[in-house]
Structures are given as C-alpha cells and as structure tokens.
Structure 1
Amino acid sequence: MAKNSDGKTVVIYRESDEGHGGHHGGSWKVAYADFVTAMMAFFLLLWLVVSLKPQRKQELSLVFQDKNVPSKEKVQNLEKVPTFISPDAIKGSPEFKLSQENKLKYEIALLIKELISSDLSVKNNSGVSNDSSGVLMQVNNSVMFRTGSAELTPAAAKVLDGVARILQDFKINLTVRGHADDEEKGGPYPSKWELSAARAAAATRYLAEKTGIPTTRLRAVGLADSQPLVPPTSAENKARNRRIEFFYTSPDMRPAERSQDGP
C-alpha cells in the first residue's frame, strides 16, 4: 500500500504472471448422461418384461432362438411343447425361425402328443421325444399286448390307427421296435428276442393290413432288452423298459400330397 499527495492510502493490486488453472473439462457430464440414459432404458425393459403375460414371454423367446436349433425342451422331451403352438402357427408364423425339417418334427410330435393324451391309460404309459433323425413315440407293452403274448389289445388298435394317420399325412417311414425281457417270455416264444420281434411284427402287420400303409415304408425290429430306458435294477424299472417304439424318420420329411378322395 502507498499514500498519494493528499495523504490518502492507495491500494495497489498486482496480477500474478502465473496462469490460473484451466477450467475442468465437461466430458464426464456426457458419460454420466449416457449412463443415466442406459439405466433408464434398462429399467424400462425390465418393466415391460415383467408386465408381459407368460404366453407372450414364450413367444418373445422364440425370436431370440437360433433359427436352426430347437429349444432344449424340443430336443429332450417334446411333450413340453407349449400347447398354444399349433401346427398352423408353426407353418405360418414369421417369428418361428426353425428349419422346414424341424417344423415338421414339431407337427408330428404335436400329433403324437394329441394321440397319447386322448386316452388316460395310454398317456400314463407313453412318451414322445426326438433326435436329429426323427421323432420317437414310446408305448408300454402293458397297453399294447397281453403278458407274454404278441396279441394286440383293443387299446393297441386305437394307438395304431393314430400312428397310421400320421404316416398318411407325411411322406415319412416308420420303424417299429419291440422291447422285452426274460421275465415276460413264455408261450410259443422261447426267448425275449422272439417275443420282442413278434410284437414289433404284429404292430407292423396291423399297419400294413388294416390301414393300408405301404410295406415299403414300414420296418419291424426286435431288440429284446438290449436298449433299456433305465437300469433294470427294480421291478418298476424292468416294467418301464418293456415297451414298443414307433420311430418316424426320413431324410426328407415333407407333407404328403393327399388326393381329394382321401389318403
């Protein structure tokens, strides 16, 4: 401080030669705004998903599936196919991104499910699954045959008529596979091999003679107890392994062209 000629105090300010620190950058604001926007979109998506009905959620999940790979339930157990998916929806829905072969496997599996669900005794003793080659329907021997016999039961005729309808609707082949064990052999059959083969042959003969399915599309195989479903360690497991299988398969599973007069 100094005094002027009048004796008054004069305050003198001096600016420093050193520069002040620069203003903080604004890039963090942009990053923060992006974060808030992303979080808002995320929570909005969560709210939309929670508000969807279960059926819509299932339909939405189909959009994100690999177009050539069915979902897990299709591969392991096609009985779990949602009931709202009908064959017509599979054919016409643009959201269904499955290959033509897998679509037709779905149709066949749904028809089998409808067949086995029409009778409680059949439903409780059967199943359906698929693999890369075709679709498999399993029915326990207790439904199809009398113990130790290859004679078809009345319930077997109903099952075989349903099996034939699928063959009439699609240009596919069928392998009938019989399974039996030592506990069920008897009568004119000296071993489980003859019994399992006779049962497969009886079912195949019915399809050829009663329903008119061409024999070129049918095959019968007796497997005895060589391919158990579960380890035969108990009476319940052994009973489950005694079954007959209908394996629909074809390298080209196309819908059959049906005439106006019928199959």
Structure 2
Amino acid sequence: MVDELEKAKPIIIKRVKRKGHDFHGGSWKVAFADFATAMMAFFLLLWLMGNTSEDEKQAISGYFHDPSGFQEKAGSSPAVIGEGGANVAVIEIETIQPETDDIESEISKNEASNKPLSEEELAKLAEQKEIEKLKQLKKELEFLVENSIDFSQFREQVMIDITPSGLRIQIVDKDKRPMFDSGSAEPKYYSKTILRGLANVLKQVPNKLSVTGHTDATPYVERENYGNWELSADRANAARRELLFGGIKEKKIARVEGFSSSILFDQQNPHNPVNRRIAIIVLKRSVAENIEKQVLGVE
C-alpha cells in the first residue's frame, strides 16, 4: 500500500531561470566610448586654451559667431576673420627688406638693353623697393590699430607716417590718459600693452629700430640734477624694454635717445599733452648704416 502511494506522488521539477545581467550587453561600450571621446575633446580644448594668445582666441570666437563674415571682411587675406567680435591683430607682415628678385629683374632688363645700372642707380632702386615695403607695413599697422582689441581705446594716441628716416610710429599722451605718470619713467599698464602689441608686428621685419622720448615744455623740478632731458631719455629706454618684452631682439635696436622738449609736436602750444610722446622709427637700411658709421667715426 505504501509503495503504491509513493508511486502515485507527482514528481515536481523546479527550474531556476537565470536572467542575464544588462552589463553583459554591448550598449555600455557605446556609452563609454562616447564618454572617452568627450573627455579627450575636453582635455584637448584645455590644452588649446592654454597655448593660444588672447588675439587668437578673439579671432576664433569671431569666426564661430559669424563664419559668413569671414570673406566679406577679410577680402583676399585668410588671416583676417570677419565680424562678430573677431580680432584682426593676428596678421603676418611681409619682410621690408628690398626684394632681391625685383632688383635682379631690373638689372636683367638693363643688361638686355645694354644699359647697365650704376651703383647710384642700384642704390636708388633698392631704396625705392624698401619704401614700397614700408608703405605696406604702414597699412598693416594702421589696420592693426584700427581693429585690434588691445588698441581699441588708444587709436587716437597712435600716429603712423613715413619720414626720410623710415616708418615712424608715435604714441602720444592724451588729456587724462598719459603713457607715464607725471615725472615717472614707468609706463602705465596700457602703455605696455600698446608697445608689446607693436613689437609683435615689428619683430617680423629685419629693419633696425630707433626709439626716442619727448616731453612737453613744462619744467621738471622735483629732483635735483634731473630734468626733462633725463626724463625723456629714461622713458625712451623704458619703451625699449617693453619692445624687448614683446619679442624684439636686442640687436634690432639701433638708437635710444631723449629729446626733452626740443622737438615739439605742437609748436603752437608747448604744454599740449600731445608733445609728451614716444617715437619708434623702423629705419631704412641706409639710415641704420649711417648711424653705425657715425658711432664708429667712419665716413
């Protein structure tokens, strides 16, 4: 009887269903790859930000604000980025040195016509080509001053012209915005910005530079045996140091001088703040050579 009951018992088989864990699928790999890509892009952005100048950042920002303005503003120059806050200070300046190819071309033309150039004619031709380069540099600097954020508040204080000695850049004082404190040879922070900004362009040309300091006619009497002559010379030397900080090589400086109030910008008003100024001249090669000869006493 017992055997029959045991045989009549139903046999129950329990099966445990195992669920697969989600992380064994492939979706997490896609998410992780996206995360790794985002982190790589983030660290690349940090690296670029740390190795990019303020001017370059402004230019990049301007492009992404208004890419369509690029060609309109830039014309044929790909280095200039258009509207939308772009800074056009990131420019390349051509070498001012007379182009040898141009001069050789002129020589070849004259040789072909059996009219060789004299030394005087060669020198005149070289100077003509150099002046053309100086005029081009003048346009580039004017464009920089007009469009660079660093110069936005000081455009009226930067004057650029061509003189018999070369390309002259004058940074003048303005009422309530002097380059230096009264009686001081330490440049204001914005004066340093201007000088270093100019240096960033001028360092790309081979010509030597002259730096001169000028004061107005107001006598400086706060220190014994120290007047406007000493002050103007010290300010010129301070400007030279800022140019060096901006990338100018020491050997490019041909002359540093102080003129006190002997050469007034506004001769009708000797006390006009504009008379207080720093002048930087990109010297023509012949002028730089004459300075060296004068120092050496060679005729």
- TM interval, short-chain normalised: 0.5 to 0.7
1:171 aligns with 2:206: yes
**How high is the TM-score relative to the length of structure 2?**
0.47
Q: Which amino acid aligns with 1:224?
A: S
CA distance in 2, matches of 1:182, 1:148: 13
Aligned equivalents of 1:183, 1:111: Cα separation in 2: 35
> C-alpha offsets along residues 104-153 of structure 1, whole Å, 9 cap, x if unaligned?
11222123213332324321122111023310011113442122211111
Name the residue aligned to 2:193: 158
- Paired residue for 1:257? none
How far apart are residue 245 of structure 1 and its match?
0.6
Is 1:247 the counterpart of 2:281 in the alignment?
yes
Q: Report the CA distance between 1:166 and its aligned residue.
A: 2.6
Calculate percent identity across the aligned residue pairs: 26
1:125 corresponds to: 157
Gaps of 5+ in 2: 1-91, 95-126, 288-299
Contact 1:148/1:186 (CA < 8 Å) preserved in 2? no
Q: Secondary structure at the match of 1:144?
A: coil
Matching residue's letter, 1:172: N
Indicate the RMSD between aligned Cα atoms, in angstroms.
Answer: 3.3
Cα distance change, pair 184–207 in 1 and its aligned pair in 2 (3 A):
farther
1:135 aligned residue: 167
2:243 maps to amino acid? L
Task: Please list, as runs of the form range in 1=range in 2, the aligned pairs for 1:199-214 lying within 5 A after superposition.
Answer: 199-208=235-244, 210-214=245-249
Q: AA paired with 1:138?
A: Q
State the 4+ residue runs in structure 1 displaced beyond 4 angstroms. Answer: 186-189
Q: Could you say if the C-alpha distance between residues 178 and 234 of structure 1 is closer, same or farther in structure 2, counting changes exceeding 3 Å?
A: closer
Q: Secondary structure at the match of 1:202?
A: helix
What is the TM-score normalised by the length of structure 1?
0.53
Amino acid at match of 1:121: Q
Point out where structure 1 has 5 or more consecutive residues left out of the alignment.
Answer: 1-85, 89-97, 254-263
CA 1:87–1:215 in 2, change beyond 3 Å: closer, same or farther?
Answer: closer
Give the aligned length: 161
Deviation of the 1:181 alpha carbon: 3.1
Name the CA distance, whole Å, in 2 between partners of 1:134 and 1:227. 18
